[in-house]
Amino acid sequence: MNSLQTTTQAERILDAVPDELFIGGWTPSQDHRTLTVYNPATDLPIKTIADGSPDDGLKALGAAAQAAQHWARTSPLDRSNLLRKVYEAVIDKSEEMATLITLEMGKTLSEARTEVVYGADYIRWYSEEAVRFEGRNRLSPDGLSRIVTSKEPVGPSLLITPWNFPLAMATRKIAPALAAGCTVILKPAELTPLTSLFLARLLGEAGVPEGVVNVVTTSNAPGLSEAMMKDNRLRKVSFTGSTVVGKRLVAQASDQMLRMSMELGGNAPLIVFEDADLDNAVKGAVTAKLRNGGQSCVASNRILVHESVADAFVDKFARQMAGVTLGNGLDPATALGPLIDGRAVDKCALFVEDAIGKGARAVVGGKRVPGAGHFYPATVLDHVPLEARIMHEEVFGPVAPVYRFATDEEAVSVANDTPFGLASFIFSRDLNRVQGIVDQLQSGMVGVNRGTVSNVAAPFGGIKHSGLGREGGSEGIEEYLNVKYVAYDRA
Ligand code: NAD
Protein backbone atom coordinates (compact mmCIF):
# COMPACT_ATOMS: atom_id res chain seq x y z
CA MET A 1 0.00 0.00 0.00
CA ASN A 2 1.56 3.38 -0.90
CA SER A 3 1.22 6.41 1.33
CA LEU A 4 -1.22 8.21 -1.02
CA GLN A 5 -3.66 5.33 -0.84
CA THR A 6 -3.21 5.19 2.91
CA THR A 7 -4.02 8.87 3.27
CA THR A 8 -7.11 8.69 1.07
CA GLN A 9 -8.36 5.61 2.83
CA ALA A 10 -7.73 7.21 6.23
CA GLU A 11 -9.66 10.35 5.23
CA ARG A 12 -12.61 8.25 4.07
CA ILE A 13 -12.64 6.35 7.35
CA LEU A 14 -12.37 9.53 9.41
CA ASP A 15 -15.32 10.99 7.49
CA ALA A 16 -17.42 8.03 8.59
CA VAL A 17 -16.86 8.87 12.27
CA PRO A 18 -19.77 10.93 13.60
CA ASP A 19 -18.62 14.20 15.13
CA GLU A 20 -21.60 14.60 17.43
CA LEU A 21 -21.38 13.56 21.04
CA PHE A 22 -23.83 10.80 21.15
CA ILE A 23 -26.31 8.38 19.91
CA GLY A 24 -29.44 8.53 21.95
CA GLY A 25 -32.57 10.60 22.22
CA TRP A 26 -31.07 13.78 23.65
CA THR A 27 -29.86 17.09 22.33
CA PRO A 28 -26.33 18.16 23.25
CA SER A 29 -25.60 21.60 24.68
CA GLN A 30 -25.06 24.36 22.17
CA ASP A 31 -21.80 25.79 23.44
CA HIS A 32 -19.94 24.29 20.44
CA ARG A 33 -16.76 23.52 22.35
CA THR A 34 -14.53 21.10 20.47
CA LEU A 35 -11.92 18.49 21.17
CA THR A 36 -9.11 17.73 18.68
CA VAL A 37 -7.73 14.22 18.30
CA TYR A 38 -4.06 13.80 17.25
CA ASN A 39 -2.16 11.00 15.56
CA PRO A 40 0.65 9.98 17.97
CA ALA A 41 2.85 8.88 15.05
CA THR A 42 2.91 12.37 13.51
CA ASP A 43 1.56 14.61 16.28
CA LEU A 44 -0.77 16.09 13.63
CA PRO A 45 -4.50 16.65 14.24
CA ILE A 46 -6.75 14.07 12.63
CA LYS A 47 -10.27 15.08 13.60
CA THR A 48 -12.15 17.61 15.69
CA ILE A 49 -15.22 16.46 17.57
CA ALA A 50 -17.63 17.90 20.12
CA ASP A 51 -16.37 18.42 23.67
CA GLY A 52 -19.19 17.46 26.02
CA SER A 53 -20.00 19.33 29.21
CA PRO A 54 -21.21 17.93 32.55
CA ASP A 55 -24.67 19.01 31.41
CA ASP A 56 -24.33 16.77 28.33
CA GLY A 57 -23.43 13.92 30.67
CA LEU A 58 -26.64 14.51 32.62
CA LYS A 59 -28.67 14.63 29.40
CA ALA A 60 -27.14 11.33 28.31
CA LEU A 61 -27.93 9.88 31.72
CA GLY A 62 -31.51 11.12 31.31
CA ALA A 63 -31.76 9.27 27.98
CA ALA A 64 -30.25 6.11 29.51
CA ALA A 65 -32.64 6.31 32.47
CA GLN A 66 -35.65 6.80 30.18
CA ALA A 67 -34.72 3.81 28.03
CA ALA A 68 -33.80 1.59 31.00
CA GLN A 69 -37.16 0.06 31.82
CA HIS A 70 -38.06 -0.85 28.28
CA TRP A 71 -34.59 -2.30 27.59
CA ALA A 72 -34.65 -4.34 30.82
CA ARG A 73 -37.95 -5.87 29.70
CA THR A 74 -36.76 -6.96 26.26
CA SER A 75 -36.32 -10.70 26.05
CA PRO A 76 -32.84 -12.16 26.56
CA LEU A 77 -33.15 -13.69 23.09
CA ASP A 78 -33.92 -10.30 21.50
CA ARG A 79 -30.89 -8.79 23.21
CA SER A 80 -28.79 -11.77 22.14
CA ASN A 81 -29.85 -11.47 18.51
CA LEU A 82 -29.20 -7.73 18.47
CA LEU A 83 -25.72 -8.15 19.93
CA ARG A 84 -24.98 -10.79 17.31
CA LYS A 85 -25.94 -8.25 14.63
CA VAL A 86 -23.59 -5.71 16.19
CA TYR A 87 -20.80 -8.32 16.26
CA GLU A 88 -21.29 -8.97 12.56
CA ALA A 89 -21.36 -5.24 11.80
CA VAL A 90 -18.02 -4.73 13.60
CA ILE A 91 -16.44 -7.68 11.78
CA ASP A 92 -17.80 -6.32 8.51
CA LYS A 93 -16.06 -2.99 9.21
CA SER A 94 -12.87 -4.57 10.63
CA GLU A 95 -10.47 -2.87 8.30
CA GLU A 96 -11.95 0.61 8.85
CA MET A 97 -12.05 0.03 12.61
CA ALA A 98 -8.42 -1.20 12.69
CA THR A 99 -7.20 1.80 10.67
CA LEU A 100 -9.03 4.16 12.99
CA ILE A 101 -7.44 2.52 16.04
CA THR A 102 -3.96 2.89 14.50
CA LEU A 103 -4.62 6.50 13.51
CA GLU A 104 -5.71 7.68 16.94
CA MET A 105 -3.77 5.32 19.23
CA GLY A 106 -0.65 4.48 17.23
CA LYS A 107 -0.39 0.68 17.53
CA THR A 108 0.59 -1.26 14.42
CA LEU A 109 -2.16 -2.07 11.95
CA SER A 110 -1.65 -5.79 12.54
CA GLU A 111 -2.12 -5.30 16.30
CA ALA A 112 -5.15 -3.10 15.61
CA ARG A 113 -6.65 -5.90 13.50
CA THR A 114 -6.06 -8.30 16.38
CA GLU A 115 -7.78 -5.84 18.72
CA VAL A 116 -10.80 -5.64 16.42
CA VAL A 117 -11.21 -9.42 16.48
CA TYR A 118 -10.66 -9.50 20.25
CA GLY A 119 -13.00 -6.55 20.86
CA ALA A 120 -15.71 -7.94 18.59
CA ASP A 121 -15.40 -11.29 20.31
CA TYR A 122 -16.70 -9.74 23.56
CA ILE A 123 -19.85 -8.80 21.68
CA ARG A 124 -20.19 -12.34 20.29
CA TRP A 125 -19.47 -13.91 23.69
CA TYR A 126 -22.08 -11.79 25.51
CA SER A 127 -24.62 -12.27 22.72
CA GLU A 128 -24.35 -15.91 23.77
CA GLU A 129 -24.28 -15.24 27.54
CA ALA A 130 -27.39 -13.02 27.31
CA VAL A 131 -29.62 -16.10 27.33
CA ARG A 132 -27.66 -18.02 29.98
CA PHE A 133 -27.59 -16.21 33.31
CA GLU A 134 -29.53 -18.11 35.90
CA GLY A 135 -31.04 -17.88 39.38
CA ARG A 136 -31.61 -20.81 41.74
CA ASN A 137 -34.41 -22.52 43.52
CA ARG A 138 -33.81 -24.58 46.68
CA LEU A 139 -35.38 -25.59 49.92
CA SER A 140 -34.11 -23.67 52.97
CA PRO A 141 -32.03 -25.77 55.42
CA ASP A 142 -34.87 -25.80 57.99
CA GLY A 143 -37.30 -26.92 55.29
CA LEU A 144 -39.76 -24.11 56.09
CA SER A 145 -39.32 -22.00 52.98
CA ARG A 146 -38.19 -22.10 49.40
CA ILE A 147 -35.27 -19.87 48.41
CA VAL A 148 -35.69 -18.51 44.90
CA THR A 149 -33.24 -16.08 43.33
CA SER A 150 -33.39 -14.20 40.08
CA LYS A 151 -31.10 -11.66 38.42
CA GLU A 152 -32.08 -8.14 37.44
CA PRO A 153 -30.11 -5.48 35.52
CA VAL A 154 -28.45 -2.97 37.85
CA GLY A 155 -29.67 -0.07 35.68
CA PRO A 156 -28.02 2.88 33.91
CA SER A 157 -24.26 2.41 33.96
CA LEU A 158 -21.42 4.85 33.33
CA LEU A 159 -18.57 3.18 31.44
CA ILE A 160 -15.21 5.00 31.47
CA THR A 161 -12.47 3.62 29.21
CA PRO A 162 -8.73 4.26 28.72
CA TRP A 163 -6.92 5.01 25.45
CA ASN A 164 -4.80 1.87 25.13
CA PHE A 165 -7.44 -0.48 23.60
CA PRO A 166 -9.99 1.97 22.16
CA LEU A 167 -12.35 -0.77 20.92
CA ALA A 168 -11.82 -3.73 23.25
CA MET A 169 -12.08 -1.76 26.50
CA ALA A 170 -15.44 -0.38 25.29
CA THR A 171 -16.92 -3.67 24.06
CA ARG A 172 -15.76 -5.50 27.21
CA LYS A 173 -18.15 -3.20 29.11
CA ILE A 174 -20.94 -2.41 26.63
CA ALA A 175 -21.58 -6.04 25.62
CA PRO A 176 -22.15 -7.54 29.10
CA ALA A 177 -24.12 -4.45 30.17
CA LEU A 178 -26.50 -4.70 27.21
CA ALA A 179 -26.75 -8.49 27.55
CA ALA A 180 -27.75 -8.05 31.21
CA GLY A 181 -30.42 -5.48 30.26
CA CYS A 182 -28.62 -2.29 31.36
CA THR A 183 -28.51 0.97 29.43
CA VAL A 184 -25.14 2.74 29.29
CA ILE A 185 -23.28 6.01 28.91
CA LEU A 186 -19.80 5.45 27.48
CA LYS A 187 -17.16 8.08 28.24
CA PRO A 188 -14.14 7.17 26.08
CA ALA A 189 -10.63 8.49 26.74
CA GLU A 190 -10.19 11.99 25.32
CA LEU A 191 -7.06 10.87 23.43
CA THR A 192 -8.87 8.10 21.48
CA PRO A 193 -12.62 8.82 21.23
CA LEU A 194 -13.03 8.18 17.48
CA THR A 195 -13.22 4.38 17.66
CA SER A 196 -16.02 4.66 20.24
CA LEU A 197 -17.96 7.09 18.04
CA PHE A 198 -17.59 4.75 15.08
CA LEU A 199 -18.73 1.83 17.26
CA ALA A 200 -21.72 3.90 18.42
CA ARG A 201 -22.67 4.44 14.82
CA LEU A 202 -22.54 0.69 14.13
CA LEU A 203 -24.63 0.00 17.25
CA GLY A 204 -27.27 2.47 16.07
CA GLU A 205 -27.30 1.07 12.53
CA ALA A 206 -27.69 -2.47 13.91
CA GLY A 207 -30.89 -1.36 15.65
CA VAL A 208 -29.87 -0.63 19.25
CA PRO A 209 -32.72 1.62 20.40
CA GLU A 210 -32.26 5.29 21.26
CA GLY A 211 -30.98 5.91 24.77
CA VAL A 212 -29.64 2.37 25.28
CA VAL A 213 -26.06 3.31 24.35
CA ASN A 214 -24.98 6.93 24.74
CA VAL A 215 -21.46 8.15 24.01
CA VAL A 216 -20.20 11.39 25.50
CA THR A 217 -16.80 12.66 24.44
CA THR A 218 -15.21 15.25 26.70
CA SER A 219 -11.97 16.83 27.82
CA ASN A 220 -13.54 17.31 31.25
CA ALA A 221 -13.82 13.72 32.52
CA PRO A 222 -13.71 14.67 36.24
CA GLY A 223 -16.50 17.27 35.91
CA LEU A 224 -18.70 15.05 33.78
CA SER A 225 -18.36 11.93 35.92
CA GLU A 226 -18.78 13.83 39.17
CA ALA A 227 -22.05 15.39 37.99
CA MET A 228 -23.36 12.03 36.83
CA MET A 229 -22.31 10.16 39.97
CA LYS A 230 -24.22 12.61 42.16
CA ASP A 231 -27.41 11.83 40.23
CA ASN A 232 -29.35 8.92 41.70
CA ARG A 233 -30.56 7.76 38.28
CA LEU A 234 -27.05 6.34 37.76
CA ARG A 235 -26.64 2.89 39.37
CA LYS A 236 -23.19 1.71 38.35
CA VAL A 237 -19.72 2.83 37.28
CA SER A 238 -17.38 0.53 35.38
CA PHE A 239 -13.94 2.06 35.04
CA THR A 240 -10.73 0.97 33.33
CA GLY A 241 -7.75 3.21 33.86
CA SER A 242 -5.19 4.27 36.40
CA THR A 243 -5.34 3.32 40.06
CA VAL A 244 -5.16 6.95 41.14
CA VAL A 245 -8.35 7.85 39.23
CA GLY A 246 -10.01 4.56 40.20
CA LYS A 247 -9.57 5.31 43.90
CA ARG A 248 -11.09 8.76 43.44
CA LEU A 249 -14.13 7.25 41.69
CA VAL A 250 -14.60 4.59 44.41
CA ALA A 251 -14.69 7.40 47.00
CA GLN A 252 -17.21 9.40 44.92
CA ALA A 253 -19.38 6.33 44.37
CA SER A 254 -20.09 5.94 48.06
CA ASP A 255 -22.48 8.90 47.97
CA GLN A 256 -25.08 7.07 45.85
CA MET A 257 -23.82 3.58 46.87
CA LEU A 258 -23.08 2.75 43.22
CA ARG A 259 -22.06 -0.70 42.05
CA MET A 260 -18.41 -0.51 41.00
CA SER A 261 -16.12 -2.40 38.65
CA MET A 262 -12.51 -1.26 38.65
CA GLU A 263 -9.90 -2.49 36.16
CA LEU A 264 -6.81 -0.59 37.26
CA GLY A 265 -3.06 -0.48 36.88
CA GLY A 266 -0.61 -3.36 37.13
CA ASN A 267 3.06 -4.10 37.76
CA ALA A 268 3.29 -7.62 36.32
CA PRO A 269 6.32 -9.75 37.17
CA LEU A 270 7.49 -12.26 34.55
CA ILE A 271 9.53 -14.98 36.29
CA VAL A 272 11.93 -17.22 34.39
CA PHE A 273 13.07 -20.21 36.45
CA GLU A 274 16.26 -22.12 35.71
CA ASP A 275 14.33 -25.10 34.28
CA ALA A 276 12.37 -22.98 31.77
CA ASP A 277 12.47 -23.56 28.02
CA LEU A 278 14.53 -20.41 27.42
CA ASP A 279 13.48 -19.87 23.82
CA ASN A 280 9.83 -20.02 24.85
CA ALA A 281 10.53 -17.72 27.82
CA VAL A 282 12.16 -15.19 25.50
CA LYS A 283 9.21 -15.40 23.10
CA GLY A 284 6.79 -14.91 26.01
CA ALA A 285 8.82 -12.01 27.42
CA VAL A 286 8.90 -10.21 24.06
CA THR A 287 5.12 -10.65 23.69
CA ALA A 288 4.36 -9.67 27.28
CA LYS A 289 6.58 -6.59 26.96
CA LEU A 290 5.84 -5.36 23.45
CA ARG A 291 2.15 -6.16 22.97
CA ASN A 292 0.52 -2.77 22.42
CA GLY A 293 3.97 -1.17 22.61
CA GLY A 294 4.16 -2.05 26.31
CA GLN A 295 1.06 0.08 26.92
CA SER A 296 -1.01 -2.67 28.45
CA CYS A 297 -2.05 -3.12 32.06
CA VAL A 298 -0.82 -6.74 31.94
CA ALA A 299 2.50 -5.89 30.25
CA SER A 300 5.45 -7.49 32.03
CA ASN A 301 6.81 -4.56 33.99
CA ARG A 302 9.59 -6.56 35.72
CA ILE A 303 11.47 -9.54 34.32
CA LEU A 304 12.88 -11.73 37.10
CA VAL A 305 15.38 -14.33 35.87
CA HIS A 306 17.19 -17.05 37.82
CA GLU A 307 20.85 -16.04 38.07
CA SER A 308 22.07 -19.35 36.57
CA VAL A 309 20.30 -18.69 33.23
CA ALA A 310 20.27 -14.89 33.27
CA ASP A 311 23.24 -14.37 30.88
CA ALA A 312 21.77 -16.76 28.30
CA PHE A 313 18.27 -15.27 28.67
CA VAL A 314 19.45 -11.65 28.37
CA ASP A 315 21.56 -12.50 25.32
CA LYS A 316 18.63 -14.09 23.43
CA PHE A 317 16.08 -11.53 24.67
CA ALA A 318 18.32 -8.59 23.72
CA ARG A 319 18.81 -9.94 20.20
CA GLN A 320 15.04 -10.18 19.69
CA MET A 321 14.34 -6.73 21.13
CA ALA A 322 17.15 -5.15 19.05
CA GLY A 323 15.49 -6.43 15.86
CA VAL A 324 12.19 -4.63 16.48
CA THR A 325 11.42 -1.97 13.84
CA LEU A 326 10.03 1.28 15.21
CA GLY A 327 7.75 3.40 13.04
CA ASN A 328 4.31 4.59 12.01
CA GLY A 329 1.78 1.84 12.74
CA LEU A 330 0.29 2.17 9.24
CA ASP A 331 3.61 1.07 7.69
CA PRO A 332 3.54 -2.74 7.27
CA ALA A 333 7.27 -2.91 8.17
CA THR A 334 6.60 -1.50 11.65
CA ALA A 335 6.65 -3.85 14.64
CA LEU A 336 6.54 -1.14 17.33
CA GLY A 337 4.47 2.03 16.93
CA PRO A 338 4.66 5.33 18.82
CA LEU A 339 3.68 5.81 22.44
CA ILE A 340 0.44 7.67 23.06
CA ASP A 341 1.95 11.07 23.87
CA GLY A 342 5.03 13.03 24.93
CA ARG A 343 4.40 12.34 28.62
CA ALA A 344 4.60 8.59 27.96
CA VAL A 345 7.98 9.05 26.24
CA ASP A 346 9.21 11.24 29.13
CA LYS A 347 8.20 8.53 31.61
CA CYS A 348 10.21 5.85 29.77
CA ALA A 349 13.24 8.15 29.54
CA LEU A 350 12.96 9.08 33.23
CA PHE A 351 12.70 5.46 34.41
CA VAL A 352 15.62 4.39 32.20
CA GLU A 353 17.83 7.23 33.49
CA ASP A 354 16.81 6.44 37.07
CA ALA A 355 17.66 2.72 36.68
CA ILE A 356 21.02 3.45 34.99
CA GLY A 357 21.82 5.97 37.71
CA LYS A 358 21.24 3.21 40.27
CA GLY A 359 23.54 0.70 38.54
CA ALA A 360 21.53 -0.86 35.68
CA ARG A 361 23.06 -1.38 32.22
CA ALA A 362 21.22 -0.59 28.95
CA VAL A 363 21.80 -3.62 26.71
CA VAL A 364 19.42 -2.48 23.95
CA GLY A 365 17.79 0.93 23.27
CA GLY A 366 17.48 3.38 26.13
CA LYS A 367 17.67 6.55 24.01
CA ARG A 368 14.87 8.85 22.84
CA VAL A 369 14.17 8.98 19.11
CA PRO A 370 14.43 12.54 17.71
CA GLY A 371 11.81 13.95 15.30
CA ALA A 372 8.03 14.17 15.09
CA GLY A 373 5.79 11.68 16.83
CA HIS A 374 6.17 10.06 20.24
CA PHE A 375 8.65 7.24 19.76
CA TYR A 376 10.70 5.29 22.26
CA PRO A 377 12.67 2.19 21.17
CA ALA A 378 12.45 -1.35 22.53
CA THR A 379 14.82 -1.28 25.49
CA VAL A 380 16.43 -3.95 27.69
CA LEU A 381 18.01 -3.01 31.00
CA ASP A 382 20.12 -5.63 32.79
CA HIS A 383 21.22 -5.82 36.47
CA VAL A 384 18.39 -3.51 37.52
CA PRO A 385 18.42 -3.05 41.30
CA LEU A 386 15.25 -3.32 43.39
CA GLU A 387 15.55 0.37 44.32
CA ALA A 388 14.93 1.47 40.70
CA ARG A 389 11.57 3.17 40.15
CA ILE A 390 10.71 0.86 37.27
CA MET A 391 10.63 -2.08 39.71
CA HIS A 392 7.76 -0.40 41.58
CA GLU A 393 5.86 1.78 39.08
CA GLU A 394 4.17 0.92 35.80
CA VAL A 395 6.43 2.16 32.96
CA PHE A 396 3.70 1.66 30.30
CA GLY A 397 6.22 1.51 27.48
CA PRO A 398 8.66 -0.84 25.71
CA VAL A 399 11.28 -0.86 28.48
CA ALA A 400 12.16 -4.26 29.98
CA PRO A 401 14.15 -4.31 33.23
CA VAL A 402 15.85 -7.61 34.13
CA TYR A 403 16.46 -8.52 37.78
CA ARG A 404 18.47 -11.63 38.70
CA PHE A 405 17.21 -13.78 41.60
CA ALA A 406 18.77 -16.69 43.49
CA THR A 407 15.90 -18.70 45.03
CA ASP A 408 12.19 -19.38 44.46
CA GLU A 409 11.45 -17.63 47.77
CA GLU A 410 13.25 -14.51 46.59
CA ALA A 411 11.40 -14.55 43.24
CA VAL A 412 8.00 -14.76 44.95
CA SER A 413 8.90 -12.12 47.50
CA VAL A 414 10.09 -9.65 44.81
CA ALA A 415 7.06 -10.46 42.61
CA ASN A 416 4.63 -9.71 45.45
CA ASP A 417 6.46 -6.59 46.65
CA THR A 418 3.99 -4.20 45.03
CA PRO A 419 0.61 -2.76 45.91
CA PHE A 420 -0.65 -4.01 42.52
CA GLY A 421 -1.96 -7.49 41.74
CA LEU A 422 -3.21 -7.75 38.17
CA ALA A 423 -1.19 -10.35 36.22
CA SER A 424 1.95 -12.44 36.65
CA PHE A 425 3.81 -14.72 34.23
CA ILE A 426 5.82 -17.84 35.07
CA PHE A 427 8.16 -19.88 32.87
CA SER A 428 9.16 -23.34 34.14
CA ARG A 429 8.92 -26.92 32.88
CA ASP A 430 8.04 -28.28 36.35
CA LEU A 431 4.26 -28.07 36.79
CA ASN A 432 4.42 -28.97 40.50
CA ARG A 433 6.73 -26.04 41.06
CA VAL A 434 4.48 -23.85 38.89
CA GLN A 435 1.41 -24.70 40.98
CA GLY A 436 3.30 -23.92 44.21
CA ILE A 437 4.35 -20.52 42.85
CA VAL A 438 0.86 -19.78 41.43
CA ASP A 439 -0.58 -20.40 44.91
CA GLN A 440 1.76 -17.80 46.40
CA LEU A 441 1.49 -15.06 43.77
CA GLN A 442 -0.73 -12.13 44.70
CA SER A 443 -2.37 -11.44 41.35
CA GLY A 444 -5.76 -11.96 39.76
CA MET A 445 -4.30 -13.70 36.69
CA VAL A 446 -1.24 -15.85 35.97
CA GLY A 447 0.14 -16.81 32.56
CA VAL A 448 2.11 -20.06 32.62
CA ASN A 449 4.68 -20.58 29.86
CA ARG A 450 2.94 -17.91 27.76
CA GLY A 451 3.10 -14.13 27.53
CA THR A 452 -0.60 -13.33 27.23
CA VAL A 453 -3.62 -13.98 29.46
CA SER A 454 -6.49 -12.06 27.83
CA ASN A 455 -9.38 -14.17 26.57
CA VAL A 456 -13.04 -13.24 26.17
CA ALA A 457 -14.09 -16.45 27.93
CA ALA A 458 -11.87 -15.77 30.98
CA PRO A 459 -12.44 -13.49 34.00
CA PHE A 460 -10.01 -10.58 33.54
CA GLY A 461 -9.23 -8.56 36.65
CA GLY A 462 -6.97 -7.91 39.58
CA ILE A 463 -6.63 -7.84 43.35
CA LYS A 464 -5.05 -5.33 45.74
CA HIS A 465 -4.72 -1.90 44.09
CA SER A 466 -5.40 -3.40 40.64
CA GLY A 467 -9.11 -3.31 41.11
CA LEU A 468 -12.48 -4.79 41.92
CA GLY A 469 -14.62 -7.15 39.85
CA ARG A 470 -14.00 -9.07 36.66
CA GLU A 471 -14.58 -8.49 32.94
CA GLY A 472 -15.08 -11.30 30.42
CA GLY A 473 -16.23 -14.86 30.91
CA SER A 474 -19.46 -15.77 32.62
CA GLU A 475 -18.27 -13.63 35.56
CA GLY A 476 -18.34 -10.42 33.49
CA ILE A 477 -22.13 -10.25 33.14
CA GLU A 478 -22.63 -10.63 36.91
CA GLU A 479 -21.12 -7.15 37.34
CA TYR A 480 -24.27 -5.76 35.68
CA LEU A 481 -26.80 -7.87 37.58
CA ASN A 482 -28.39 -7.57 41.01
CA VAL A 483 -29.61 -10.71 42.78
CA LYS A 484 -33.20 -10.70 43.97
CA TYR A 485 -34.11 -13.31 46.58
CA VAL A 486 -37.70 -14.33 47.19
CA ALA A 487 -38.65 -16.45 50.22
CA TYR A 488 -41.72 -18.59 49.45
CA ASP A 489 -43.47 -19.99 52.45
CA ARG A 490 -43.59 -23.77 52.18
CA ALA A 491 -47.18 -24.07 53.17
P1 NAD B 1 -6.56 7.36 33.27
O2 NAD B 1 -6.97 6.89 34.62
O3 NAD B 1 -5.81 8.62 33.18
O4 NAD B 1 -7.84 7.55 32.35
C5 NAD B 1 -8.77 6.53 32.14
C6 NAD B 1 -10.11 7.15 31.83
O7 NAD B 1 -10.55 7.88 32.96
C8 NAD B 1 -10.10 8.14 30.67
O9 NAD B 1 -11.32 8.01 29.97
C10 NAD B 1 -10.06 9.49 31.37
O11 NAD B 1 -10.64 10.52 30.62
C12 NAD B 1 -10.90 9.21 32.60
N13 NAD B 1 -10.59 10.06 33.76
C14 NAD B 1 -9.43 10.67 34.08
N15 NAD B 1 -9.57 11.34 35.24
C16 NAD B 1 -10.84 11.14 35.66
C17 NAD B 1 -11.60 11.58 36.78
N18 NAD B 1 -11.05 12.34 37.75
N19 NAD B 1 -12.88 11.18 36.88
C20 NAD B 1 -13.43 10.40 35.93
N21 NAD B 1 -12.78 9.96 34.84
C22 NAD B 1 -11.50 10.33 34.71
O23 NAD B 1 -5.77 6.14 32.62
P24 NAD B 1 -5.17 6.06 31.16
O25 NAD B 1 -3.89 6.80 31.17
O26 NAD B 1 -6.18 6.41 30.13
O27 NAD B 1 -4.92 4.47 31.04
C28 NAD B 1 -3.77 3.87 31.51
C29 NAD B 1 -4.03 3.15 32.82
O30 NAD B 1 -5.12 2.26 32.65
C31 NAD B 1 -2.86 2.29 33.22
O32 NAD B 1 -2.61 2.44 34.59
C33 NAD B 1 -3.31 0.89 32.91
O34 NAD B 1 -2.68 -0.10 33.67
C35 NAD B 1 -4.77 0.99 33.15
N36 NAD B 1 -5.49 -0.07 32.42
C37 NAD B 1 -6.02 -1.08 33.13
C38 NAD B 1 -6.67 -2.11 32.47
C39 NAD B 1 -7.25 -3.26 33.26
O40 NAD B 1 -8.06 -3.99 32.69
N41 NAD B 1 -6.90 -3.45 34.51
C42 NAD B 1 -6.80 -2.08 31.08
C43 NAD B 1 -6.24 -1.02 30.38
C44 NAD B 1 -5.59 0.00 31.08
Pocket of ligand 1 (CB under 6 A): 160-164, 169, 187, 189-190, 221-222, 225, 240-242, 245, 248-249, 263-266, 297, 394, 422, 462, 467
Q: Which fold has domain 3-264+466-486?
A: Aldehyde Dehydrogenase; Chain A, domain 1 (3.40.605)
Q: Kindly state the percentage of the chain with pLDDT values over 70.
A: 96
Mean pLDDT of 180-189: 98
Q: Where are the domains of the chain?
A: 3-264+466-486, 268-456
Residue 140 has φ and ψ, to the nearest 5°, of -70, 155
The stretches of 76-215 forming alpha helices (DSSP H) are 76-92, 94-105, 109-129, 168-180, 194-206
The one-letter code for the residue type at 283 is K
Buried b (16+ CB within 10 A) or exposed e, 268-295: bbbbbbeebebeebbbbbbbbbbbbbbb
- Residue 382 to residue 377: CA distance in whole angstroms: 16
Q: Give me the chain's average pLDDT, please.
A: 95
- Residue 94 to residue 96: CA distance in whole angstroms: 6
Residue with the smallest CA separation from ligand 1 atom 20 is 222
Distance 241 CA to ligand 1 centre (A): 2
To the question of domain 268-456 being in CATH 3.40.50.150, the answer is: no
pTM for this one?
Answer: 0.96
Distance 189 CA to ligand 1 centre (A): 8
Q: What is the pLDDT of residues 274-333, one digit of tens each?
A: 999 999 999 999 999 999 999 999 999 999 999 999 999 999 999 999 999 999 999 999
**Amino acid 21: pLDDT:** 55
**Amino acid 6: pLDDT:** 54
pLDDT tier at 23 (50, 70, 90 boundaries)? low
Q: Which ligand 1 atom is the nearest neighbour of the CA of 263?
A: 41
3-state secondary structure at position 85: helix
Q: What is the Cβ-side half-sphere exposure of residue 207, based on CA atoms within 13 angstroms? A: 11
Q: What is the pLDDT of residues 145-154, one digit of tens each?
A: 999 999 999 9
| Measured CA distances, 146 to 58, 104, 344 (Å) | 42, 55, 57
Q: What is the pLDDT of residues 203-255, one digit of tens each?
A: 999 999 999 999 999 999 999 999 999 999 999 999 999 999 999 999 999 99
Q: What is the pLDDT of residues 31-41, one digit of tens each?
A: 778 899 999 99
Distance 343 CA to ligand 1 centre (A): 15
**Amino acid 1: pLDDT:** 33
**Amino acid 32: pLDDT:** 75
Top pLDDT among 208 and 24 is at: 208
**Amino acid 456: pLDDT:** 98
